[in-house]
Amino acid sequence: MKKLLTVVVLFAALMTAVPAKAEVKFGLKGGLNLTNMRFDSSVADKSNQAGFFIGPTVKFTVPIVGLGFDASALYDQRKAKVDDTSIKQQSIQIPINIRYGIGLGSTASIYFFAGPQFGFNVGDKDIKTEVGNWTFKSSNVSANAGVGLMLLGHLQVSANYNFGLGKTGEFEGNIPGAAKENGKLNAWQIGVAYFF
């Protein structure tokens, strides 16, 4: 809870620090997660699986040409298949990205973005499978890096890679004496946003 409060205070401070000439737009963002589960070592057969994200977003464009940042509060669902068992993580993700765009003003522009993402688990923390147990952390930090296209000042399409900066959870096999393995849920993300 302290981490969430810290993120909210940081976000509020950023909003008050935005220059008066900055352009602020609010919108709705959604998209697809293509999840890749990674372990410290190969403890189980795993495969990628799709999930989704959706939620409100805000974009700030500062007076410096092409420079801005965006932030969102997204409901995020990621799935991965481990030995014929689907593991699902549900969380609230708060990405805060710095972005730099080049192009034809509000008609069309391409932009690059990167930044941290703070996640808070809202689904099941403990998932039991035939081969072992997966335990998700209550919160996690990851990072984004990607590229996008802005059209007519309202429609945004983006693609990025989201990778964990720490463990997302732990996996412990059912074999007696099995060691706990750290795991991460990294994802390719394809998103669409509409700004009002």
Residue 21 has pLDDT above 80, yes or no: no
In this prediction, residue 157 has a pLDDT band, given cuts at 50, 70 and 90, of very high
CB 144 within 8 A of CB 161: yes
pLDDT band at 147 (very low <50, low <70, confident <90, very high): very high
Please indicate whether residue 15 or residue 164 has the higher confidence score (pLDDT).
164
92 falls in which pLDDT band (50, 70, 90)? very high
Q: Where are the domains of the chain?
A: 2-195
pLDDT score recorded for residue 39: 65
The band of 158, judged by pLDDT with boundaries at 50, 70 and 90, is: very high
Please tell me the class of the 2-195 domain. mainly beta
The answer to whether residues 194 and 42 touch, using CB atoms and an 8 Å cutoff, is: no
Mean pLDDT, residues 79-92? 79
Residue 10 has pLDDT above 70, yes or no: no
Q: Give, in order, the Cα–Cα distances in Å from 63 to each of 18, 19, 21, 51, 95.
A: 10, 8, 6, 36, 22
Q: Which of 69-73, 102-106, 113-117, 150-154 has the lowest mean pLDDT?
A: 102-106
Residue-level pLDDT at 57: 98
Tokens for 54, please give them: 């959706």
C-alpha to C-alpha distances, 168 to 7, 95, 140, nearest whole angstrom = 19, 16, 6
In the chain, beta strands by DSSP E: 23-39, 46-61, 67-72, 74-82, 85-103, 108-121, 126-128, 132-136, 139-151, 155-164, 169-173, 180-195
